[in-house]
Structure 1
Amino acid sequence: MPLGAVALAMAAMTPASAQEKSVAVLAIVEHPALDAVRDGVQAALKDAGYESGKNLKWQYQSAQGNTGTAAQIARKFVGDNPDAIVGIATPTAQAAVAATKTVPIVFSAVTDPVAAKLVPSWEPSHTNVTGVSDLLQLDKQIDLIRQVVPGAKRVGMVYSPGEANSVVVVKEMKDLLAKRGMSLVEASAPRSVDVSSAARSLVGKVDVIYTNTDNNVVSAYESLVKVGQDAKIPLVASDTDSVKRGAIAALGINYRDLGEQTGRMVVRILKGEKPGDIKPETSSKLELYVNPGAAEKQGVKLSDALIQSAAQVVK
């Protein structure tokens, strides 16, 4: 058999998984949690046999916290016509959904995809969109706040009003805290550079500061930690990586696992499933991280029981 015919025959026998696929990944900003999602997606693709440089065209870009940049990148990715676009965090997922009604989109690390208008409900969307949410039960977050600061009445929250997920959390926290005889004190930080001044505005008004997975806040968490230490205001987070950066405690999702869960969903699409037939998912695997050293610097002492129940104690 001529060499050309052999090559053609071998190509015909090549499994679908070995044929090159294209995945474009867009994140709103780079910080440890979102970076872990990105790496988890790539790891799940590799586990399924899709490897960058071999049979996978992998593109990744960060919008550096700018929604206008996110829209530009999303349009560029749509023009490349990949097999799937992964939008990490609400603003970038929204940018991708606004840019195409045909290219498959998988969102990740989006708190409330319905409120963000990415999908009409938690059922299969019958559109080009599905994904994985990092939605947390806020009752458990309030329980943690009370464990860290037992007498807390006034809970401060620094957040970006431009992030749909944060607006949803603020509204729900207000209602839940009120039922427990507590109150929420808001401080708006539209940009990462506003986080420090927003935190300082809470000094003297709150007993504790809680942060959700707001990307502007998480990307500038060290500036929040400085205020917490200077003013002796305890910081409780929902992003476990923030504990390594100076939060006292966090009950949150393992974002590497969330990325792998997202990646497995992308694999299903690469193998032929339609995103609109795949029900959006959440992660039920929560981990408690504590940082006794940060607690001391912020004027509180953690109970032995809380420390012993932690998946990780940051030294």
Structure 2
Amino acid sequence: FVPRRLLLNEKVRQTVKGDWRFPDDIRAQAAEIILADGSIRKTDAGPASSSPDNIPPQSPTTAMSQTGAAMAPLDHPWKLKRILYVESAPAEEAMHGMNEGFRAAGLVAGRDFILREASAQGDMAVLPALADATRSDGSELLIAFSTPTLETAVQKIKHIPIVFTFVADPVVAGAGRDDTHHLPNITGVYTLGPYTEMADLLVRYFPGYRSIGTLYSPAEDNSVHNKQLFTEAAEQRGLRVTPIPVNSPGELPDAAMALAAKPIDVIVQILDNQSSSGFTAIARAARRARKPLISFTESSVRQGAALALTMDYRQAGYDAALKAADIMRGKLPATIPFSKPTRIRLVVSADNAQVLGMTLPADLIGKADLRLGKTD
């Protein structure tokens, strides 16, 4: 007897003409999903992931909630709904962290919660329909991944708690004024990129890089906000940023080639959903032009960037799960502050740097939290 295994390929699906998507019930049965960036997501429907499953370092809020691991089962299995805007490697890291967080909180899938997933697969217009479905399908708690998803949930979901993660800035998304003054049914963990720290790194280790290029998505408020933050940090240090708008995933490869052809010293790709899911096109353009490439996710270095300063997305998912567990055990979202991971990791690849015509200083390599080899 050979057990059935369903495999889905998002990378190929995006080449299909028309507005065709994998139905949510089919996605839920998949053992593996090849994401748009070429990485592979192993789901609970398939064999256990071969990636390390260690619980990440704990933030102070994590340690406070850890007592849940010894608690009794919930009085009923909560119906959770997780909505994702687009698949990407950083989002996958947050999902793995969330699974670990639920386990650390003593919650068991099937006994304490039933998790259903839905994805807009990169189509902003689909998010309102997914939110409307959540209002009528009996969901008791919504988990919102990404800023566009949270923005939609803020407008449409008032009757159940919302826990967000993989969101750049919940204030920009309309979820509140600050970490403690927010909408009463919403809490979560945000992952605003370390833009000031990146500008400082460029000035210290790459003084010859004065002109910077980046792509951004005008349709994503988080992308526009991230562009503004990085531009301000760079200009305060005497650097110049040239942004190029990308209006759809189909435009990304050509926009990346155009950016790499400009008279800039380095590409520093800011964070947004579009660039995260299509980073391989950005890396390909940089390699062809031998243009230095820097970003803000570990996965981007695995896909060709020379280095990245990255928030801990796994920790973000982990902490968001603990907030959700607190809510399922009776705590009100209004009393749970927004938070963000406190750790910033430096990831480098000297091999990728060489391919890009870039030299990483030895002392910078020595400070790296993770050193990777050449991209396949």
Give the TM-score of the pair, scaled to structure 1.
0.91
Equivalent residue in structure 1 for 2:290, among 199, 214, 232:
232
**Greater CA drift, 292-301 or 45-54:** 45-54
Whole-angstrom distance in 2 between the partners of 1:100 and 1:252? 31
> Deviation per CA, 1:72-124, whole angstroms, max 9, x where unpaired?
11221222232311111101111222221121011111111112212232224
Q: Give 1:2-81 correspondences, 5 Å limit.
A: 15=72, 17=74, 19-81=76-138
Structure 2 counterpart of 1:300, one-letter code: M
Q: Distance in 2 between matches of 1:148 and 1:52?
A: 47
Higher RCO (Cα < 8 Å, 6 or more apart) = 1
Matched, 1:112 2:169: yes
Shift in Å at residue 273 of structure 1?
A: 1.0
| DSSP 3-state at the match of 2:337 | coil
Match for residue 271 of structure 1 among 326, 329, 338 = 329
The Cα of 1:69 is off from its aligned counterpart by 1.4
Query: Given the superposition, is the C-alpha separation of residues 124 and 269 from structure 1 closer, same or farther in structure 2, using an over 3 Å criterion?
Result: farther
1:175-210 deviation per Cα after TM superposition (whole angstroms, max 9, x unaligned): 222222211101111222222211222213311111
Aligned-CA RMSD value: 1.7
State the partner residue of 2:51: none
Aligned length: 302
Contact 2:348 2:372 in 1 (8 A): yes
Q: 2:255 aligns with which of 195, 198, 215?
A: 198
SS of equivalent to 2:74: helix
Q: Which has the larger radius of gyration?
A: 1
Could you say which residue in structure 1 is the equivalent of 2:278? 220
Q: What stretches of structure 2 of length at least 5 have no aligned partner?
A: 1-70
Partner of 1:179: 236
Distance 2:183 2:226 in 1: 27
The alpha-carbon deviation at position 25 of structure 1 amounts to: 0.6
More helix by share: 1
CA–CA distance in 2 between the matches of 1:230 and 1:126?
A: 47
Q: Which runs of 4+ in 1 moved over 6 A?
A: none
- What secondary structure sits across from 2:143 in the alignment? strand
> What is the deviation of 1:50?
2.2
2:346 pairs with 1:288: yes
Q: Secondary structure at the match of 2:271?
A: coil
Unaligned runs of 5+ in 1: 1-13
Q: Alpha-carbon deviation of 1:137?
A: 3.4
**In the aligned structure 2, how far is the partner of 1:176 from the partner of 1:48?**
38
Report if the CA contact (8 A) 1:145-1:236 is conserved: no
Work out whether residues 75 and 96 of structure 1, in 8 Å CA contact, stay in contact via their aligned partners in 2.
no
- Is 2:190 aligned against 1:159? no
SS at match of 1:26: strand
Please, what TM-score do these two structures have when normalized by structure 2? 0.77
Deviations 1:10-41 (A, max 9, x none): xxxx9552521121111111111101212221
- Work out whether 1:94 is the aligned partner of 2:184: no
Is the contact made by 2:203 and 2:237 (CA closer than 8 Å) also made in structure 1?
A: no
Percent identity of paired positions between Structure 1 and Structure 2: 26
